C-alpha cells in the first residue's frame, strides 16, 4: 500500500513539475515577445525647435497618395547616358544619406521647420550621367504633378530627396516614398510622391503650377506669382 501511494505521489509530483515548467516557459516567451510601438517624431534637433509633421496643410492636387513600396520604382529618364530605375530599398540603402533642417514656406502663408533625411539628388543624377547640354531637371509625381528646377541648382546645392522627416519614415500624406527638399524655393517646388526624375534641355518647361502663372524660379525672396 505504501509503495502504491509513493508511486502516485511521485506521479503527481512529476505532473506538477511539468505544469510549473509549462507555465514558466509561457511567461518567459510572453516577456521575450517585444511589442513594437509606433514611431515617435523628434521635435528638437541640435538646439533647433522643429515643427510637427502634422503642422502641414493638405493642398495636393489629388489628395494624399498611397503608394505600394513593393512595386514602387524611381526612374531616371530623358537626357541620360544610363537610364536607370531603382526600387525604394535601392535608393535608401545604396546611397549615402544626409540630414538637414530646412524650412518649407508655402504660398498660402504657413511654414514648417523639419529635420529632413534623404539622399542627394545630384548623386542619383551622377549615376545617370547626363550630357553637358542638360539644363533642367523635371520631377514627376504619382498623382501627375510635375515641377522643374535648373540642373545647376541641383548640382551646386545639397538638395535632398527625403524619405524621413523628424526621424520617422514619411507618412503617405507627407509624400511617401520621397519628397523633394527644395530649399530656398516656394513650397510648390517641394514635390511629393516622386516617381520619375527626367533630365531635359528644355529651359522653357513649366510644371503644374508654373503653367498656371506661378514663378518658374520660385525664389523665396521674390513673388511666387510670375517671373
Convert the pLDDT of each residue in 155-202 to its tens digit: 999 999 999 999 999 999 999 999 999 999 999 999 999 999 999 999
pLDDT digits (tens, 9 = 90+) for 89-100: 999 999 999 999
pTM > 0.85: no
Cα dihedral sign, 116-117-123-128: negative
Confidence bin at 27 (pLDDT 50/70/90): low
Residue count of the chain: 227
Question: Residue 105 pLDDT > 50, yes or no?
Answer: yes
C-alpha–C-alpha distance, residues 120 and 137, integer Å: 14
Cβ partners under 8 Å of residue 6, min gap 6: none
**What was the pLDDT predicted at 5?**
54
C-alpha–C-alpha distance, residues 88 and 20, integer Å: 49
Amino acid at each position: 500500500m505504501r509503495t502504491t501511494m509513493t508511486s502516485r505521489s511521485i506521479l503527481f509530483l512529476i505532473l506538477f513539475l511539468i505544469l510549473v515548467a509549462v507555465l514558466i516557459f509561457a511567461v518567459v516567451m510572453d516577456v521575450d515577445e517585444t511589442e513594437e510601438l509606433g514611431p515617435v517624431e523628434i521635435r528638437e534637433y541640435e538646439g533647433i525647435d522643429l515643427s510637427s509633421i502634422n503642422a502641414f496643410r493638405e493642398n495636393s492636387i489629388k489628395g494624399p497618395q498611397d503608394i505600394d513600396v513593393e512595386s514602387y520604382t524611381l526612374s531616371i529618364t530623358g537626357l541620360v547616358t544610363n537610364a536607370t530605375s531603382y526600387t525604394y530599398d535601392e535608393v535608401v540603402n545604396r546611397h549615402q544619406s544626409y540630414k538637414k533642417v530646412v524650412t518649407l514656406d508655402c504660398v498660402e502663408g504657413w511654414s514648417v521647420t523639419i529635420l529632413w533625411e534623404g539622399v542627394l539628388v545630384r548623386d542619383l543624377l551622377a549615376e545617370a550621367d547626363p550630357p553637358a547640354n542638360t539644363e533642367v531637371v523635371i520631377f514627376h509625381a504619382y498623382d501627375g504633378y510635375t515641377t522643374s528646377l535648373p540642373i545647376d541648382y541641383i548640382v551646386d546645392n545639397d538638395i535632398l530627396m527625403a524619405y524621413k522627416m523628424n526621424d520617422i519614415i514619411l507618412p503617405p500624406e507627407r509624400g511617401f516614398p520621397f519628397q523633394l527638399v527644395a530649399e530656398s524655393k516656394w513650397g510648390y517646388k517641394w514635390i511629393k510622391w516622386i516617381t520619375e526624375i527626367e533630365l531635359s534641355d528644355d529651359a522653357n518647361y513649366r510644371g503644374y503650377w508654373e503653367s498656371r502663372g506661378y514663378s518658374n524660379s520660385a525664389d523665396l525672396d521674390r513673388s511666387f506669382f510670375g517671373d
